[in-house]
Amino acid sequence: MRDAIYFQEELRRRFPAAHSRLCAEIDEQYRAIAPDVAFARLSSNPMDRRLDFCSYFLATILILERHGESPETIRDTCLAVTRAFVQPRNSWQRWLRQLPAKLMGTPVVALMARVMQAKTGRKGHEDGFLVQVVTSPAETHGLGYGFDILECGIVKLFRKHGAGQYVTVLCEVDELTSALAGLELVRGGTLARGASRCDFRFRHLPPKR
C-alpha cells in the first residue's frame, strides 16, 4: 500500500523492538482484507476509493489488538498516523486545503455540489458509500454546502471484521481535516455511534491572530 510509510514510521516510534514484526503482520492482514475492498478502485462512487487506505487502518488495528494493545493505545496510534498523513507538506498544499473554505457560498461550490451529488448519490457497490449533498443555506449555516453520509463503507468494512468499535477513531479525523481547511465541523451524530446518518455541516473558523 502506497501510504503504508505513515503507519510504519509511527509503529517504529511507538514499538521500536517489535516494529519489523508488526509491519510484516499488518501487511499480511492487509492482503487478507484486500478482496473485501477490491471493488473500490473501479467504483463509480469516488467515496469508495478511500476504502483501500482505511483497510490498512483496519489491518493495523486488528494486529495491535491481537498483540494485546489497549483501545487507548490503538486509538492514539491511529490518530498519530492520520495527523502525519493529512498535514500539508508545503505552502502550496496548505493553500489547496484552505481553498474550499474560501469558495464557500460561491457559484463554484454550487457546481461542485451538483457534481458530487451525481457521483456519490448512487452506490457503486453494496459495501460502499451513499451520500446526500445538502445545499439549503438554512441547513448549512448559510454556506450552501454540506452532506449526509447515509451509508458508510468504513462502518461496513470494520463491522464485518469485528472492529466496529474503532470506526469512531476515523470519525475524529473529520474534525482535523475540516480544521486544516479553515472550517469547523458541526455534527449531530455518526453512523458509527448509532445515528441514522453522518451529518457534515460547516462553519468558518475565526481567522488566527
Residue 92: the pLDDT is 84
Residue 53: the pLDDT is 92
Residue 196: the pLDDT is 96
- Provide the grid cell at 80: 498519530
Q: Give the right CATH number for 4-204 from 3.30.1380, 3.30.420, 1.10.287, 3.30.70.
A: 3.30.1380
Burial (CB < 10 A; 0-12, 13-18, 19+), residue 107, is exposed
For 66-100, write each residue's pLDDT tens digit.
999 999 999 999 999 988 888 878 888 888 877 77
**What backbone phi and psi angles, to 5 degrees, belong to 151?**
-135, 130
CB count in 10 Å sphere of residue 195:
12
Residue 207: the pLDDT is 65
- Strand pairing class (130-134; 198-204): unpaired
Task: Give the residue extent of every domain in the chain.
Answer: 4-204
pLDDT tens, per residue, the chain with 209 residues? 778 999 999 999 999 999 999 999 999 999 999 999 999 999 999 999 999 999 999 999 999 999 999 999 999 999 999 888 888 788 888 888 777 777 777 788 788 889 999 999 999 999 999 999 999 989 998 888 899 999 999 999 999 999 999 999 988 888 888 888 888 999 999 999 999 999 999 988 776 65
Residue 44: the pLDDT is 96
202 - beta bridge partners? Answer: 185
d(CA 145, CA 135): 5
DSSP string, the chain: -TTHHHHHHHHHHH-TTTHHHHHHHHHHHHHHHHHHHGGGGG-SSGGGGGHHHHHHHHHHHHHHHHTT--HHHHHHHHHHHHHHHHS-SSHHHHHHHHHHHHHTTSHHHHHHHHHHHHHHSS-SSTTS-EEEEE--GGGTTTSS-EEEEEE-HHHHHHHHTT-GGGHHHHHHHHHHHHHHTTEEEE-S--GGGT-S-EEEEEEEPPPP-
Residue 181: the pLDDT is 84
Please name the amino acid found at residue 140.
T
